[in-house]
């Protein structure tokens, strides 16, 4: 039935106000949801993991090398989204490197999958409430700097957020951290030194550089890569930056490692494809696993 203009406007107002109120509640609820997920994991896991290792595209093999593994599907964990990308399993594997218990995320959540950055980084809120303070973020990245070749490992010394979004947007929950967190030394200087030491001892070449994150999922254009290079970035990808911001918001210490899986667009006269990204990631995984083991033993 046709309603009066006045009634329609009232309904619109009610609709939008309710939406804002619901959003408010949802954001305030994150802490309680994370607590619920952390309690669930605490009951499942053999111990509180010392570190969380996030495995990027094609880099999932590390989780399979853990001893005394316990795997939990993301779908089982309360409030966790499901991973939708090929090359990402979508499960958390908890196990041991020597006597150190770690939790490895086989697959992460990306902004380009349609999740909000708050949803995509929710698992870090859970990790923090579970008692984890150390985070290792790995990713597959395109090499912008001409010294970076496919297969190279790069220690992230800093990042540039080109996602035009921030996971801390919205209400701040002081139980997690401050409204305006500092990102100087977002990638822990002591962890960086320790990773370089470990790499040198193992004879694994480890480059050092700045990682720029874009929304994706399309790869960049050559013109975009020229722009990003002029900004001071050495590698480019579609993840890690939101996770680092959220981890630092909660005072967690972060180590970032990129596996260069391809030369970024226009660096070579070659198109980029995801299958190649996965393949090179898988080839580099052996070196990455050795490095991760050595780093974890030293953390």
Residues lying near ligand HPA in the complex (CB under 6 A) are found at 140-142, 219-220, 236-238, 261-262, 264, 272, 277
Alpha-carbon distance of 97 to 51, in angstroms, equals 11
Residue 140 designated active-site: yes
CA nearest 144: which of 229, 63, 78? 229
Kindly name the residue from 139, 258, 262, 263 that is annotated as catalytic.
Answer: 262
Residue 93 or residue 163: which is nearer to ligand HPA going by CB?
Answer: 163
Query: CA 152, 292, 37 angle in degrees (round to 5)?
Result: 120
Residue 239 or residue 293: which is nearer to ligand HPA going by CB?
Answer: 239
Residue 230 designated active-site: no
Which one-letter DSSP state was computed for residue 107? S
Residue 41 or residue 141: which is nearer to ligand HPA going by CB?
Answer: 141
Which one-letter DSSP state was computed for residue 240? S
Residue 262 designated active-site: yes
Residue 110 designated active-site: yes
Kindly name the residue from 71, 112, 116, 279 that is annotated as catalytic.
Answer: 112
Residue 272 or residue 290: which is nearer to ligand HPA going by CB?
Answer: 272
Residue 4 designated active-site: no
What is the length of the chain?
Answer: 299
Kindly state the smallest distance separating residue 207's Cβ from ligand HPA, in Å.
Answer: 15
Cβ distance 260 to 148 under 8 Å?
yes
| Residue 31 exposed, middle or buried by CB count within 10 Å (0-12, 13-18, 19+) | middle
Residue 102 or residue 236: which is nearer to ligand HPA going by CB?
Answer: 236
Kindly state the smallest distance separating residue 212's Cβ from ligand HPA, in Å.
Answer: 9
Helices (H), the chain: 5-44, 61-64, 117-120, 122-130, 189-202, 222-231, 241-249, 274-298
Residue 211 designated active-site: no
Kindly state the smallest distance separating residue 197's Cβ from ligand HPA, in Å.
Answer: 27
Kindly state the smallest distance separating residue 248's Cβ from ligand HPA, in Å.
Answer: 22
Residue 159 designated active-site: no
Residue 223 designated active-site: no
Kindly state the smallest distance separating residue 110's Cβ from ligand HPA, in Å.
Answer: 10
Alpha-carbon distance of 295 to 288, in angstroms, equals 10
Residues acting as catalytic residues: 57, 88, 110, 112-113, 140, 238-239, 262, 274
């Amino acid at each position: 039935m046709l309603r009066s203009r006045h009634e329609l406007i009232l309904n619109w107002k009610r609709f939008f106000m309710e939406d804002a109120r619901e959003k408010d509640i949802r954001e305030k609820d994150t802490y309680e949801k994370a607590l619920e997920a952390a309690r669930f994991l605490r009951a499942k896991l053999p111990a509180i993991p010392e570190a969380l290792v996030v495995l990027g595209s094609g880099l999932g093999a590390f989780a399979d090398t853990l001893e005394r593994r316990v795997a939990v599907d993301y779908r089982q964990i309360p409030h966790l989204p499901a991973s939708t990308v090929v090359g990402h399993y979508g499960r958390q594997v908890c196990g041991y490197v020597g006597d150190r218990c770690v939790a490895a995320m086989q697959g992460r959540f990306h902004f380009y999958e349609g999740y909000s950055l708050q949803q995509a980084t929710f698992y870090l809120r859970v990790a923090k409430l579970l008692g984890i303070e150390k985070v290792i973020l790995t990713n597959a990245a395109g090499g912008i700097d001409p010294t970076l070749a496919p297969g190279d490992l790069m220690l992230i010394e800093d990042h540039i957020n080109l996602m035009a979004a921030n996971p801390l947007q919205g209400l701040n929950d002081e139980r997690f951290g401050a409204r305006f967190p500092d990102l100087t030394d977002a990638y822990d200087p002591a962890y960086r030194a320790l990773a370089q030491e470990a790499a040198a001892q193992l004879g694994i070449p480890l480059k050092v550089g700045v990682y720029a994150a874009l929304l994706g999922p399309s790869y960049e254009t050559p013109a975009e890569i020229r722009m990003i290079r002029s900004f001071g970035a050495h590698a480019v990808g579609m993840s890690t930056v939101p996770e680092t911001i959220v981890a630092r918001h909660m005072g967690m210490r972060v180590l970032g490692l990129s596996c260069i899986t391809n030369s970024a667009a226009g660096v070579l006269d070659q198109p980029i494809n995801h299958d190649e990204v996965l393949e090179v990631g898988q080839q580099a995984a052996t070196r990455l696993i050795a490095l991760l083991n050595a780093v974890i033993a030293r953390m």
